[in-house]
Chain A
Amino acid sequence: MNSTPARESKLKQADPDVEARLIYRALFGGTIPDILARRYAQAARRLDQDAEASDLAAVARLVDAGADLEAAELAGRLTGRLPLLTRKFTAMTYLAETLPDHQRYFVARRSSLVAGTAVLAWSGLLTAVKLARGLWLLRSVPRG
């Protein structure tokens, strides 16, 4: 794998606004709030600075293609590829958690064993579908 740091590379990077919109939509659906986009841009700059060029280019390709980033991130995480994309998803999650109107995504306020079990079952099914799609998307990304 090419281990050239991104700051020394001439490789194209993902458009930060498009990237933020796609990651937000993959996680929460809808339109990313402006304040979150600004904060994400700051975090993404930090991540891109330290990223390996090959990783950066792979993420840029996925973003430019408008690919299913949730699927790519899952496949990357489970196969040891695309750590940069996982960090970007994680950063977006942290930043979104600080917004009052996003608390519902993180904290359950009502108890329901049935609903909880159903949600986990849905998550399992969703994961299976996304993994299949993600593995197909990552055919060209080398293993880490």
Chain B
Amino acid sequence: MAEFMVVGSGAAGVAAALALVRRGVRPLLLDAGFVNEAVAPRVYGNLYDYRRRRDSFDLHIGPELSGLASALSDEPGVAKLNAPNMAFVTRDAERLAPLEQIRFRAVQSFAAGGLGNAWGAGLYRWVESDLDDFPVALSQLEPYFDILTREIGISGQDDDLTSFFGNPAGLLPPLTLSHNARLAHTAYLRQREAWRRAGLHLGFPRVAALSVPYDGRPACDYGNLEFWQAQPFIYTPAVTLQKLVRDGRIDYRPGVLVHSWEEGSAGIAVRAASIDTGAPIQFSADTLLLAAGAINTARIALQSRGDLSTRLPLLENPIVQIPLITPRSVGRRLDTDTFGLVQLNIVWQQAARGILLQGSLIELTAPMRSEFFGRFPLSARGNLAAMRALLPAMMMLQLYYPGSAQPPAELSLSANGRLRIAAPPHDLDRSELAPLLAALRKLGLWTHPALIQQPPTGHAIHYAGTLPMRHQPGDYQCHPDGRLHGAQRVFVADSASFPTLPAKNMSFGMMANAMRIATLAAT
């Protein structure tokens, strides 16, 4: 019997395991644990240099044509997850955790390190306002933000976003901006007061990508390969997982799919199955920490009771994608020495609705150029020409709304074993974006409202709130220490326990909260 058992090796599971290890515990970590077994090449240097020298079919598309997924279907996919070297992140998810989805597009992972293998690497401390409806004080999370900042290595800067992104102590210098981002940032510094009056703020992101060598890992080489393979300068939960396994600090059991648990006087029995053979396996522990992700942690909770009637809430960040053009960069050569993810962040205090939105200004150098074919209303050759002439002048603003901006989806277990997720119909009011678009124009970033897209609910891959923490929890809710109501030693360590979902990327808050809950469980 294990003293502590953690289910899942994503950001929350790894953070929980790390907290337990720091308290001298050697937890058992159960995981499906898929790793990258693709034969796709490992590229060193710059993506565009490589493509000029070598056939990049195996890197971009692969023999199974996974890189063509968005070209072959109507579904708007997540380009990064289509790459042959990233296919393991979502491998077998539909088989292992089948879903029936209505107006929702969930992405699930059973990889070692979870969805973090393909994350955007934005890690933002939470501040008091992010915790408005949490039964948790910021002071309870701060020590864990500090520990994680040291563990991970986060680049960023003390700037106009510090009041939203929290204490800048321990940050590495910011990453070098791309040409277009530098133009926008310079313009912002001149327009700062006007922006502030509109409730808008711009600054450097906090990213788990190294601007300088750190903890034995190299600095960013600005090679645009972020979409195509794991990069040693980008931290993912798999980094800590590998370290804990290598040092023998955790008992790691991959190849296991957890189904349910039963708590008795002798401890907790966890029913699982071998992923390879389907054979049932049973584990037992004194304390169970669930960190399988908000959707699968809820699935395990419902399966544990054989409950086919309860409908649980599921929160997600609605997003809109706003393509932006810098007219003075039209016809410019492509900036191929670039960090291919977020360049700058925007925070918008939208007074009309009393909510706070967060945007990521993203460079478009990492995806294939063909990803944008058909996005311009031109003929095929016209689109090719536009890709050459316009894409070097373009960035994408991905704007995140808080989970409260739309009614929650409902999640329930069906008799056929599928998890049913139903989201209500909901369209964001794009006319409310007018002040933001006007402010962006002042920075030289132009768009047209017709180009703005709202991807389907679920696209942000920020899922939360299925088993929310409350001061006075009820059924399928957690106590403030993460303990599931009605259980003695079962804790929810992932975002399932969030009562609300701020617009800010939840990953860092989730990791700090997982450490807090694991520490409390071990105390």
Contact = CB atoms under 8 A, between A and B. Distances in A.
Interface stretch (A3-11, A55-63, A123-131, A135-143): A123-131
Interface of A, secondary structure class, is: helix
Contacts of A70: 379-381
B406 interface: no
Contacts of B74: 83
Contacts of B71: 43, 87, 90-91, 93-94
B244 interface: no
Interface string A40-74: 00110011001000000000000000000011011
Given A91-B72, A94-B61, A130 B330 contact: no
Interface in B365-394: 368-370, 373-374, 377-390, 392
Contacts of B67: 94
A43 B68 contact: yes
B53 interface: yes
Contact of B370 (A93, A115, A124): A93
Given A42-B65, A87-B72, A123 B386 contact: yes
Contacts of A14: none
Interface in A107-136: 107-117, 119-120, 122-124, 126-127, 130-131
Contact of B385 (A47, A73, A122, A130): A122
A71 B382 CA distance: 11
B54 interface: yes
From DSSP, what is the main secondary structure of chain B's interface residues?
helix
A110 B389 CA distance: 10
B373 A95 contact: no
A90 B389 contact: no
A23 B389 CA distance: 22
Contacts of B331: 108, 111-117, 119
Interface string B49-70: 0011111110111000101100
A70 B385 CA distance: 14
Contacts of B332: 108, 111, 113, 116
A111 B72 CA distance: 33
A52 to B, nearest CB: 12
A98 B56 contact: yes
B230 interface: no
B48 interface: yes
Contacts of B439: none
Interface in B303-354: 328, 330-334, 336
A99 interface: yes
Contact of B57 (A73, A89, A98, A131): A98
A87 B373 CA distance: 10
Contacts of B334: 107-109
Contacts of B54: 100
A94 B68 contact: yes
Given A94-B68, A124-B382, A103 B389 contact: no
A111 B334 CA distance: 8
Contacts of A50: 72-73
Contacts of A42: 65
Nearest to B369: A106
Contacts of B333: 108-111
Which of B54, B61, B382 counts the most chain A CB atoms within 10 A? B382
B325 to A, nearest CB: 11
A35 to B, nearest CB: 8
Contact of B330 (A46, A86, A120): A120
Contacts of B48: 103, 107
A119 B57 contact: no
Given A43-B65, A112-B331, A114-B331, A95 B72 contact: no
Given A47-B72, A94-B368, A98-B61, A113 B52 contact: no
A89 B51 contact: no
Given A86-B374, A97-B60, A108 B389 contact: yes
Contacts of A21: none
Contacts of B52: 100, 103
A108 B389 CA distance: 7
Nearest to B56: A98
B389 A119 contact: yes
A27 B60 contact: no
A117 B390 CA distance: 9
Given A98-B61, A115-B331, A26 B368 contact: no
Contacts of A105: 384, 388
Nearest to B371: A94
B111 to A, nearest CB: 25
Contacts of A74: 378-380
A130 B379 contact: yes
Given A98-B55, A111-B331, A116 B379 contact: no
B166 to A, nearest CB: 39
Which of A46, A50, A86, A98: most chain B CB closer than 10 A? A98
Nearest to A49: B72
Interface in B51-109: 51-57, 59-61, 65, 67-68, 71-74
Interface of A: 26-27, 35, 39, 42-43, 46-47, 50, 70-71, 73-74, 77-78, 83, 86-87, 89-91, 93-95, 97-100, 103, 105-117, 119-120, 122-124, 126-127, 130-131
Given A74-B378, A105-B388, A127-B377, 20 more contacts: A43-B68, A83-B74, A89-B373, A91-B71, A93-B373, A97-B370, A100-B55, A100-B56, A105-B384, A107-B336, A108-B331, A111-B333, A112-B331, A114-B331, A116-B332, A120-B390, A123-B382, A123-B386, A126-B378, A127-B378
5 contacts: A50-B72, A71-B379, A73-B380, A91-B71, A108-B331
The 8 A-B residue pairs whose C-beta atoms are closest, nearest first, are: A116-B331, A123-B382, A116-B389, A130-B379, A106-B369, A90-B71, A94-B370, A98-B57
